[in-house]
Amino acid sequence: MSVLGLLQKVGLQALAPQLDDRCFDDWWHRASGAADGLTFQGLNSLVVLGAWFLWKHRNQCIFDGASPNVAEVLRLASEEMQIWGMARARGLSSLT
């Protein structure tokens, strides 16, 4: 799975990072501006969730000697997103 695949899973593939998004913040600002209401909340929750799992994996690589594995980070973030959706997290449950 890729970032695009994760966004496709929730129907937000049009908001995938583009080549002219020079940094994470540029992309997040552009994507958030294109969403509204519960989609905006869901997108922001998804971005924060993804960043959190990326940070945790980075720490595992640095402190525990784990090998970088983007596919695993995306899988874990996707599973957590489903759990949040089942718990009726307003924004995320509107995406799933």
- Spatial neighbors of 6 by CB under 8 A, at least 6 apart, are 46, 50, 74, 77, 78, 81
pLDDT reading at 69 higher than 90: yes
Nearest-angstrom CA–CA distance, 60 and 68: 9
Q: What is the pLDDT of residues 45-63, one digit of tens each?
A: 888 888 899 999 999 999 9
Mean confidence (pLDDT) of the chain: 87
User: Cα-atom radius of gyration of the chain, to the nearest Å?
Assistant: 14
Domain residue extents for the chain: 3-13+23-95
Nearest-angstrom CA–CA distance, 9 and 12: 8
- State the pTM of this model: 0.80
Residue, of 24 and 91, whose pLDDT is higher: 24
Q: How confident is the model at residue 1 (pLDDT cuts 50, 70, 90)?
A: low
Of 70, 96, 73, the residue nearest 83 (C-alpha): 96
